Amino acid sequence: MALTTASGAAVLNPAQIEASLVKPLETMAAIALCSTIVRTAGMSALRIPTTAATPTASFVAEGAEIPVTDADLDELILNPRKLAGLSVITNELAQSSTPQAADIVGRGLAKDIAKKLDMGAFGTLPAPAPPGLATLSGVKAVTAHVQGGKLTDFDWAAEAESLSALAGGNITHWIAAPDAALLVATTPLGGVGGQMPALQPDPALPTRRQVLGRPLLVSAAVESRTIWGVDQSRSFLAIAEDVTLEADRSVFFTSDRIAIRAKLRVSYGWPEPATVIKISIPA
């Protein structure tokens, strides 16, 4: 990537940034994997229409007046918030002309940014981070059954799917805390007393597992012993297009190192909270 600029200059062009930073971020962050990603221009907010009450259709006699009903429309506004990461690399790596050098820098920053993005989406980071699922009002709750420190069945998943469907949703992904994922992975087929783990492999991605045909993602940002069920079509991640990756030699001049800064603007939101299900596993 051969850095030759003194300070504050772009390391990669937009296409390289997309390949080395943005695309890896989209595969590392759980919120990106379970959401519809929308690219916005600059500081533009993403406006997602929501409906509090839908028009009502009716059977009517021939020639009779059709009842008029109005939709109660609203909108969810996602304002992109700045999310930045800073990495320090050696001058030798910066001067490397190998294609892997840019990937090393980009993926390292993408990993840090993905971690913070998930912490905001599934946790309770303070402002200026956008509010996450843990602060969302209207989410449905399910409590899993536990016996002897183990999950007894997968009824929690069936109940969650049913509750989401009643609200017009369709759960496409489960996002679990590491300890919750372990409990799911060790739940035997047929419940307590069964022999075979019921967590199924995903044919599209063998390293990933499924619960009732839906991918199970694992994120340390999720609260302990908690699983979220979300509908990808009703979970949005807005990423502004003006992503930057810049270098500055002056900050660490005495140690012959270079500061690399990644900066992007993102936000996330769920226009229909009732389709989101929170599953809690009692201790």
Report the CATH number that the domain containing residue 110 is assigned in CATH. 3.90.1690.10
pLDDT for position 140: 96
User: Does 171 reside within a domain?
Assistant: yes
Higher pLDDT: 71 or 223? It is 223
| Average pLDDT estimate for 247-252 | 76
User: Does 66 reside within a domain?
Assistant: no
User: Does 3 reside within a domain?
Assistant: no
User: Does 4 reside within a domain?
Assistant: no
Res. 180 pLDDT band, cuts 50 70 90: very high
User: Does 8 reside within a domain?
Assistant: no
pLDDT for position 59: 86
User: Does 64 reside within a domain?
Assistant: no
pLDDT above 60 for 269 = yes
What's the CA angle centered on 76, arms 72 and 77, to 5 degrees? 140
pLDDT for position 6: 46
- Per the structure, the count of domains in the chain is 1
pLDDT for position 103: 66
pLDDT for position 3: 41
Tokens of 182: 């372990």
pLDDT above 80 for 202 = no
Structural domain containing residue 229: 14-50+75-200+208-280
pLDDT for position 51: 66
pLDDT above 80 for 164 = yes
Res. 174 pLDDT band, cuts 50 70 90: very high
pLDDT for position 199: 61
User: Does 69 reside within a domain?
Assistant: no
User: Does 61 reside within a domain?
Assistant: no
pTM above 0.75, yes or no: yes
